[in-house]
Every structure is written in structure tokens, then in C-alpha cells.
Amino acid sequence: MSSSDDIWILGIHMTKFGKHYDQDLVDLGSEAVMGAIADAGVTMGDIGIIAGGNLMGKGLGIAQQIQKQVGQTGIPAYNVSNACATGATALRTAIMAVKAGECDMGLAVGVEKLAGVGLLAGGSRGEDNDEWEREGRYGAVAPIDGRIGTEIMPGVFAQVGMEYDHKYGGATFELFAKISEKNHGHSTLNPLAAYTKAMSLEQIMGDLMIAYPNTRPMCSANCDGGAAAVVVNGEKLKTLSLEQQRRAVKVTASILTSDPYEEACQVLPNVNTLTRNAANQAYEQAGVGPDDLDLVELHDCFATAELVHYDNLMLCEEGGAVDFFESGAPFRTGDKPVNVSGGLQSKGHPIAATGIANIWEVAQHVRGECGDRQIEGAKVGLAHVIGLGSACGVHILEKSGL
């Protein structure tokens, strides 16, 4: 494979996640873009494609709207909406355009405003009738809320966690709370996280129960934020300064999967198979395995989700997620640090920004620029997101050899 086929992250940036009442979607997206191109040491004039991701906003064409604020140059603009994998999908869009030879350099941005929206539901609740009646194209399967299951995310991932415990055992309420305790502890070293407060096990277990076994601190935090990345091919990178080359992070795998065909029920989405498929493809594409990873940022939308994704990403043997956690491996000081950023439970989850923000965290560690929370010697990391519908993005990043 020639260097022109190689893809590198040249610049990347995320805003502070939290409540930004004085900034709208375009403001936050533009802040992320300007930060990314400054980090890359380039300008909008160098960019050959922009892919913009947004899920919950009412406006159309977030990529074009951001361009109007940061610089319109007539380049192709793609708008992406792919559930919680929106940001990762936007980045993959830019990567594919560069790999296809349409341009040497591309830009991806994801942005969301979710502060104050409350718990997100997956569908509208049907009328409270005694007898359910089919209606519309999707009437045979949705809305299911209150009929045969739930589409509301806390309920879905509560079931996901309980299903894992039923199948393998050991996944107790206290263990899920310990996962959350880990992530809230990690957040204290991340100044860009929405919440940077450590919480005790007692506080977490005693907080408001949202959907057993997830209490409020065990759920991802809806908030505002943006993240953006500039990608470049290997040939173009060679023409840039030695400092730009040194800080560039190689994207050795960029994978997006959806649900394969399988016999399944209508009650509970399968969040496991498409993640495991994405991980397998990513490891093969990157030429590495789980044992080669120095850190992982995975989609812990709920504490229960983090546990099952230990297994889905093959960080442990199948069915061994409980033992993996209890070994101390996923702690910042462990053998396989997971969610050193604080994860979605602390860092926050502005949906469309999350995929790129997870990549930002890994990239900063690989660069050696994470300050007090730096994983020493980090050279290879994995970023994972999953959005129900379903979509899973996995990216593997490696340190520059310079």
C-alpha cells in the first residue's frame, strides 16, 4: 500500500462539553472546526471536503451553515445523521473522500445541543388504548413502547445489562455502579468534561434510579458540544512541516457496520453483533489485536453498555467482562485503560459530537499531549461508538513514527 493510501489525522479539536446557552449549533460547530484547522496548521483554503454531523437540530445543512461562519470555498459539503455514530460517520465520510483521491485533505465536524432536553426516547409513545392497531409503514414493529418492550434508551440498555448477567452471571447492581465510579473518577483529570466530580459507590447506588440497574450517575449526560478533525493522505503529509508530521496520528482502521441479518425478536435491539463485527474488521484492517491496544474510548452511554462492550470489543474472552473489570484492567492505572476521559457518563454525550470526541481523546494520548491523565507510552488506541438503528463505528489510531 502506497503512502497516498494512508490516512492521518492532522488536526483535531473538541469544545468543552456542558451547557452553552450563549452558543447555538453553528457557533459550537465553528469553534470545533477553527480549533481543528488551527491544530492542523492549515486553513479552510486547504480543505477539499467537509462532512457535517448533527442529529437533533431542526435546521438543514449543518455543514453549509458552518462554512458560512468559517469560510465558504465551494467544496463538496456532506450532511450526516446516523444516530450516536453520527460523528464517526462524518469522519469516515471525509476519510473515504480523501482515500478516493477527490482531495488531499478533508474535514469532519459533529455538533449537538442537548442541555436540558431530558432523557431521550427512541420513539413516540402510542395512544393508551386497550387494543393495539397497526398503522403506517412501521406499524408492525413500532412504536413498541409500553406494548412489548421499550424504545427509551435507559430501558433498552438496562435490559442489555441484565441480559448479560442472565447469560454469564456476576453483573450485579454494585458492579455496574463500580464501572460508573471508575469513569467519574477519571473525569476529574479532564477539564473538557461536562462533569469533573468524583462520586463514591454509595452516592452512585443511592442516586435516583432511572432504569434498573442504572441510576442517574450511570447514564450518559445530555449536553452541548462540538468536535472536528482534519484528515490528510500520506503523500500530502510528506510535504508539510516536520512538526505537522510528528503530531499527525495515523488512522489504521476506519470501520462502520450496521445490523446483519439474523433471527431476532422485536423486544431488544442487538447492540452486540454489529460491534463485534466492527471490531473484527478493524483489527484485521489495522493489523493489530486487542492485546496491542494501549487505551480504549468506548460508548458507555450507560454503565451497563460499558460492560458488554468489553466483551464485544474482545478486550476479554467471551463472557469474561466481569472478571476483566474486577482485574482492574480498565482503570487508568490498569493494563487496558477504558474511558480515561470520564466516558459519556462524565464527559457528556452531545450525540453527533461524541464519535469525534472519542477519537480526540485517543489521539491526544497517542500524541502524548494529555497532561495529568496521559497514558504513558500510548502508541495504539481504539475509539468506538454505537447508535441504535443501528450503526457502529470503530477507529484505530497509531502514533507517528517520527
Encode pLDDT of 283-332 as tens digits: 999 999 999 999 999 999 999 999 999 999 999 999 999 999 999 999 99
Please say if the pLDDT value at position 1 is more than 80.
Answer: no
- Among residues 20, 84, 184, 316, the one annotated as catalytic is 84
First to last CA, the chain: 19
If you average pLDDT over every residue of the chain, what do you get?
92
- Among residues 20, 349, 384, 395, the one annotated as catalytic is 349
Confidence of residue 149 (pLDDT cuts 50, 70, 90): low
Average confidence (pLDDT) over 39-60: 93
CATH class label, 3-118+223-251: alpha beta
Q: What is the DSSP letter of 336?
A: S
Residue 264, pLDDT score: 67
Calpha distance 180→175 (Å, rounded): 9
Residue 4, pLDDT score: 62
Confidence of residue 211 (pLDDT cuts 50, 70, 90): very high
In which residue ranges of the chain is CATH 3.40.47.10 found?
3-118+223-251, 153-217+253-398
Calpha distance 15→195 (Å, rounded): 14
Is the pTM higher than 0.85? Answer: yes
Superfamily of domain 153-217+253-398 in CATH is Thiolase/Chalcone synthase (3.40.47.10)
Grid cell at residue 56? 437533533
The yes-or-no answer on residue 265 being catalytic is: no
Least confident of 59-68, 132-141, 339-348: 132-141
The yes-or-no answer on residue 299 being catalytic is: no
Please say if the pLDDT value at position 133 is more than 50.
Answer: yes
115 close to 18: Cβ distance less than 8 angstroms: yes
Model pLDDT for residues 95-128, shown as the tens digit of each residue: 999 999 999 999 999 999 998 776 544 444 445 5
